[in-house]
Chain A
Amino acid sequence: MKLSDINRRKFLKQSGQVLVGFNLLPLAFCTPNQANEMVEWVDKGRDAVDSWIRLNPDGKVTVLTGKMELGQGIKAALRQIAAEELDVEMDKVEIIIADTGKTQDERYTAGSNSIEGSGKTIRNAAAEARKILLDKAAEKWGTSPDNLTVSNGRISQNGGESASYWDVLQGRSLEGNITGEAPKKDPKDYKIIGRPEPREDILAMVTGKTLYVQDLRLPGMIHARVMRPPSYGAKLINFPKEEVEGLPGVIKTVRDGSFLAVLAEWEYDAVKGLQRLQMGSQWEEKVLDPPQEELFDKMFGAEDNGNSIENSLPSGWEDRGEILETAYTRPFQMHGSIGPSCAIAQMDNGKLTIWSHTQGVYPMKRTIADLLGMSEDNIRVIGVPGSGCYGHNGADDAGADAALLAAAHPGPPIRVQWMRMDEHSWEPYGSAMAFKMKGIVDDSGNIEAWKTELWSDAHSARPGGKAGHFIAANTLENPKKFEAGGFSAGSYRNAVPLYGFAREIVHHDFSTPLRTSAMRGLGAYGNIFALESFMDELAHKSGTDPLEIRLRHLGDDRAKEVLETLAKKIDWANRKNNNNQGWGLSFAKYKNAASYFAVAALVEADPGNKDFKVKKMVGVIDAGQTINLDGLKNQTEGGMIQSASWTLFEEVKYDSNGIVSNTWASYPIMRFSHVPEIEVHVIDRPEEEPLGAGEAAQGPVSAAIANAVFAATGSRVRDLPLLPEKINWA
């Protein structure tokens, strides 16, 4: 294989995201003015076909999406959808992602919504574009569009004339709105959707080409490091300003209240400046309360009444039988991006440009406007991929840091790179959660009653326009205070069982001392851990097979089918839970509205060494219509391994001095030695709507492992992570 085989220019264009006047290769030749200009882009609004699909004079199609490439491979899948409906080959289709100067506002790339949301709009726009082009050709040739066919962008009349889409347009843009009425293809006829489509950005990854925001080197760019306070709420008393500003290469320090940064010509000089700041500055600190060892007791003991999410329990349900009562906990866990957050910002004649790996370029623009008191019209946010984020990590905060510094030091592009400790200590974590479960099951495995009570802090605190959501904003001389977002549906995501039995679900908002926000799956991870562990406990209590008890209470055929397929793949009926080996299984339909996922884990215990290992995991996913088969498998495998890492190893620790888990040594995650064998099976349903899949695996994997630990050791571990020392080895 040669680089030229893949057409390097085209490849870089597609993987670039920065595009037109600000492409990747030309970066070195690109002046700041070019980089900042708002290119010849006219926003025609959400309804215009042209806002989503453009036919360029060079014979290419450009797809425009407001969604961000996060490593989930969204670019390939959205290109497939456009290529399919337009009847052009994939090599003609390019894509531009998240850029407030070019794409529509699609808010956040989150919640496994991109295929269902952006994908649907792009499909409609592509179908509409095809119809407009066919109508034009038919009119020109004096025939009906029904007599025309399209192959790879060329329209032909039966035995008559032919012309390409681009011939038809003659350099003009595609005028028309998305009506939703243009005919869309019958899934039976799909040629491109559903097939495995290689991601083109992998070439850039393996050759070390510019790809991430961390890699951008703009002309005249300078480097910054922000000195974060030693702990939440700490106030800066003083810092060695003159000493740091006297260091070689340091341009200046910037202080605004307790927000403190150093700017330097060269990156390592900024790092050295930061080290001096860390050694020489003094802070007044605040203690975190409650301390970690009291957190769950405080949650369980909270005296609010909670919010009833659903209640179908009849009165007197407690008397229907013996109540099984258990409690589960999930600790704070971190996104743990491998590349710490980074952003570049430049203030040029009152116009601010930010390059960021944010999940939402438009929300960031609004929030930065609030932070700096600027008009949104003077801000452009360009989305450039970063390291995988898995939710709301430090990306937005790094963007705010860079914006504050660009405002304080106009002119050059300023690159802010967070250090490892910044990301570990300051990212907003997935909230700690606590669960109290009650259930009644009869001797034949019929669940008569079920009650879940759950406690959680917020699962979304994204900066949707309020600057107080940026950590830097809280520390300014005139701080913007964080305002909690109120009742958070993310907390009880998947708390309501898909199973059909009488139940009550009660959710309590609990304010924890740590910063929390959206992490892959939100509350679904903890809720499914509790729900599916408890299903297993009810199965064992009633002597029912764990598969059987689930199937019996499910009415949804697709839910049953993922479980039945899984059972076949691992030969569940003949499994052997002995020799310290045990299988556990688990199931959920993500959000009770997206993909169906069933998973089984095989755990092997080593009582001699008081240790255990997950040997194998097998997953079955039904994401409706499959767009990119290989992408779906890759996302699912990844979700399974990541969730296994959360489940087996991860817990953010804090003490009175702040966050203790501030490096990979104090917050270990899964490494190769612990990676189990993984199998993923896909049930493709071309006739169904595609369902979000990126977060489907997170919850079920946790309970499958816990259930397998029980099968292998007889110990029921109800507190995550499932550390070997929590098992009763006696």
Chain B
Amino acid sequence: MIKEIRLNVNGKEHTLQIDPNTPLLYPLRNELELNGAKYGCGLEQCGSCMVLLDGQAEPSCMRTCGSLEEVEIQTIESLADGENLHPIQQAFIETQAAQCGYCVNGMVISAKALLDQNPDPTDEEIKEALQRVLCRCGTHSRFIKAVKLSSEKMNSSTL
């Protein structure tokens, strides 16, 4: 049952002795001590556990480790470049886009996937990109503002 699985997470190779059917979220949070992705439902319904899989925002609570050996996995911990926060992180802080913050990981990861493909999204496109992530505190309108500000910041820094 236990096998050797190699995962590429945040640019580093990790070798795990693990049941290949284990959903990615568990070794991320436990063995690799990356707390960013959260457990929310285990059913791909809430988006708390979002990570980037080859650049796409995907839930990590059902995708098994065994199916991800060839995939580049990125978590929210990889966004900051050393001490420098990513423009999306800066924008979330500047707009104070959080209440309890439990869903923020899903919002930031979804925003990253969106803005990498569509640097100048409309409000509707932002809503669509964040649609999979549930927020219970009602911080939605701030998240939309934060993603807009992220887009401005990313566009001005690439000029």
Q: Which residue of B lies closest to A419 (CB)?
A: B42
CA distance A650 to B142 in the complex (A): 23
In the complex, the number of residue pairs spanning A and B with C-beta atoms less than 8 Å apart equals 188
Segment at the B interface, from A43-51, A308-316, A336-344, A527-535: A336-344
Minimum Cβ distance to chain B for residue A226 (Å): 15
Q: For A266, list chain B residues within 8 Å (CB).
A: 26, 30
A217 interfacial by beta-carbon distance below 8 Å: yes
Within 8 Å CB of B70, what residues of A? none
Contact check, A642 vs B96: say whether CB atoms are below 8 A apart. no
With A267-B26, A420-B41 as given contacts, are A199 and B89 in contact (CB-CB < 8 Å)? no
Contact (A268, B100) CB under 8 Å given A641-B140, A664-B45: no
CA distance A72 to B37 in the complex (A): 22
Question: Which of A2, A202, A204, A669 makes the CB contact (< 8 A) with B84?
Answer: A2
- Which residues of chain A from 423 to 463 have a CB within 8 Å of any chain B CB? none
Given the known inter-chain contacts A206-B89, A336-B136, A390-B136, please indicate yes or no for A2 contacting B83, CB distance below 8 A: yes
A675–B100 alpha-carbon span in the complex (Å): 18
- Tell me if A207 and B76 are in contact (CB < 8 A): yes
Given contacts A199-B96, A673-B127, contact A268 B19 (CB under 8 A): yes
Given A388-B136, A638-B139, A639-B138, A202 contacting B96 (CB threshold 8 A): yes
- Residues on B with C-beta less than 8 A from A73 are 99
Q: Which of A107-115, A321-329, A629-637 contacts B (4 or more CB under 8 A)?
A: A629-637
User: CB distance B101 to A211 under 8 Å?
Assistant: yes
The yes or no answer to A163 lying at the interface (CB within 8 A) is: no
Interface string of A1-26 (1 = CB under 8 A from B): 11110000000000000000000000
- B46→A338 contact, CB < 8 A: yes
Chain A contacts for B148, CB-based, 8 A = none
Q: What chain B residues lie within 8 Å of A642 (beta carbons)?
A: 136-138
Residues of A within 8 A of B79 (CB): 206-207
Q: What are the residues of chain A within 8 A of B140 when measuring CB–CB?
A: 641, 670, 672, 675
| Cα A335 to Cα B84 with chains together (Å) | 37
Give min CB distance, A271 to chain B, whole Å: 8
Choose one: A215, A267, A677; the contact of B35 (CB below 8 Å): A215
Contact A420 B43 (CB under 8 A): yes
Complex CA distance for A388 and B99, rounded to whole angstroms? 8
A645 contacts B138, CB within 8 Å?
yes
A516 at the binding interface (Cβ < 8 Å): no
Q: With A4-B83, A672-B140 given, is the CB distance from A70 to B38 under 8 Å?
A: no
Whether A637 and B77, one on each chain, are in contact in the complex, defined by CB atoms closer than 8 angstroms, is no
A665 vs B142: C-alpha distance when bound (angstroms): 25
B80 at the interface (CB under 8 A from A): yes
Among A201, A271, A338, the residue within 8 A (CB) of B136 is: A338
Q: With A387-B100, A641-B141 as known contacts, state yes or no: A420 contacts B76, CB within 8 Å.
A: no
Interface centre among A199, A638, A645 (most CB of B within 10 A): A638
B85 at the interface (CB under 8 A from A): yes
- A-contacting residues, B63-98, CB 8 Å: 75-77, 79-80, 83-85, 88-90, 92-93, 96-98
Q: Using A206-B89, A672-B130 as known contacts, say yes or no to A338 and B48 having CB atoms under 8 A apart.
A: yes
Chain A residues with CB under 8 Å of B42's CB are: 419-420
**Does A210 have its Cβ within 8 Å of any Cβ on chain B?**
yes
Q: Is A526 an interface residue (CB 8 A)?
A: no
A611-641 to B contact mask, C-beta < 8 Å, 1/0: 0000000000000000000100011011111
B2 touches A207 (CB 8 A): no
In the complex, which residues of chain A have a beta carbon less than 8 angstroms from the beta carbon of B139?
A: 634, 637-638, 641
Mind listing 22 A-B residue pairs with CB under 8 Å?
Answer: A1-B93, A2-B85, A71-B102, A199-B96, A206-B88, A206-B93, A206-B108, A208-B34, A208-B35, A208-B75, A268-B26, A337-B102, A338-B103, A339-B102, A387-B38, A388-B99, A634-B139, A637-B141, A665-B43, A672-B127, A672-B128, A672-B140
Interface residues of A (CB under 8 A from B): 1-4, 70-73, 196, 198-199, 201-212, 214-215, 217, 248, 266-268, 271, 335-340, 385-388, 390, 417, 419-420, 630, 634-635, 637-642, 644-645, 663-665, 669-673, 675, 677-678
Q: A386-B100, A671-B134 are in contact. List 14 more A-B contacts (CB 8 A).
A: A205-B101, A207-B89, A208-B35, A211-B35, A214-B38, A338-B134, A387-B38, A637-B141, A638-B99, A638-B138, A640-B138, A664-B45, A671-B131, A672-B131
Q: List the 4 shortest-distance A-B pairs measured between CB atoms, nearest first.
A: A208-B36, A71-B100, A641-B138, A388-B100
